[in-house]
């Protein structure tokens, strides 16, 4: 039986993440997708837990000051140094977050490293490093967060993969990068399938050519060549990727899980 439609007016909340505790990984750089996401989430009322392997007191102060300046008030922020390659580090960070805020409601994993090069030139060390950060690291931080989400039977995970995972490398990433991000897509879908009965959602975003430090390796000619192949004829802004994270983290995406969201300007339409 379908529920009858209520005659009561809908309640709309302008702040999509009001009082939600959101863990954002990879937000130490003010040019990063992680930082843009932290800023946007704070503007929508979130309490922030920012994790980064580079985090220190100076970076934490810079991030907090920048967010406060941009949104007009100082949100609650816990900034922690965390190497997601270590499960113990991830467990400790999540424990500190729950000790501070009582729980966590959302995880957005933006951490990742990229390296180009032909497959035959990739060394064993390079392969291991890419896999450790991009795939194992994602697995570790998701596992730590899921211990909390499973207990409360609620939570949302947003992982960042890459266009490279869909098209098979190229642009700014080699085969090892593409493979690691392909693993992130499969991992996220596996989490979505396993934990959906507990009310936990997991989705993945595949960005391409976002205006961050990852584009620094391209010269002007290379960048213009890439842009010429993008239907929207520009690279994306970090805030535009953050907007997709906001949607997936919020109740607006309450019936969305296991999805792959493309934020690529139309360069890969499939």
Distance CA 254, CA 85 (A): 30
The DSSP symbol for 119 reads: G
**Cα separation, 104 vs 254, whole angstroms:** 17
Query: What letter would DSSP give residue 11?
Result: -
Active-site position among 12, 35, 127, 177: 177
Q: Terminal CA-to-CA distance of the chain, rounded, Å?
A: 37
Pairing mode, strands 260-263 and 77-81: unpaired
177 is catalytic: yes
Cα distance between residue 187 and residue 103, in whole Å: 24
> CA distances (Å), 31 to each of 41, 98, 120, 128, 212, in order?
16, 28, 32, 26, 6
Distance CA 91, CA 18 (A): 25
Instruction: Write down the H helix ranges in the chain.
Output: 33-43, 57-71, 87-101, 124-131, 137-152, 163-167, 175-195, 220-228, 238-249
Closest CA to 167 of 184, 179, 155: 179
> In the 8-state DSSP scheme, what is residue 37?
H
| Distance separating alpha carbons of residues 176 and 24, to the nearest angstrom | 24
Q: In degrees rounded to 5, what are phi and psi of residue 182?
A: -65, -35
Active site residues: 177
């Amino acid at each position: 039986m379908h529920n009858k439609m209520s005659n009561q007016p809908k309640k709309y909340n302008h702040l999509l993440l009001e009082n939600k505790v959101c863990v954002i990984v990879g937000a130490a750089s003010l040019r990063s997708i992680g930082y843009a996401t932290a800023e946007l989430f704070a503007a929508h009322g979130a309490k922030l837990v920012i994790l980064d392997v580079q985090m220190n007191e100076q970076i934490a102060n810079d991030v907090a000051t920048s967010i406060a300046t941009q949104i007009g008030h100082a949100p609650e922020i816990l900034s922690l140094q965390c190497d997601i390659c270590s499960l113990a580090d991830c467990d400790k960070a999540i424990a500190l977050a729950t000790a501070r805020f009582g729980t966590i409601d959302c995880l957005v994993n933006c951490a990742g490293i990229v390296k180009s090069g032909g497959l035959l030139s990739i060394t064993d060390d390079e392969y291991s490093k890419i896999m450790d950060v991009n795939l194992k690291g994602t697995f570790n931080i998701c596992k730590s967060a899921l211990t909390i989400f499973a207990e409360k039977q609620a939570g949302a995970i947003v992982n960042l993969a890459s266009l490279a995972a869909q098209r098979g490398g190229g642009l700014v990433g080699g085969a090892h990068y593409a493979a690691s991000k392909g693993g992130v897509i499969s991992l996220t879908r596996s989490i979505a399938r396993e934990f959906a009965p507990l009310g936990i959602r997991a989705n993945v975003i595949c960005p391409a050519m976002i205006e961050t430090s990852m584009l620094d390796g391209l010269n002007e000619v290379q960048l213009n060549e890439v842009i010429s192949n993008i239907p929207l004829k520009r690279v994306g802004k970090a805030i535009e990727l953050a907007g997709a994270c906001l949607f997936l983290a919020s109740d607006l995406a309450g019936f969305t899980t296991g999805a792959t969201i493309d934020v690529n300007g139309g360069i890969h339409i499939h």
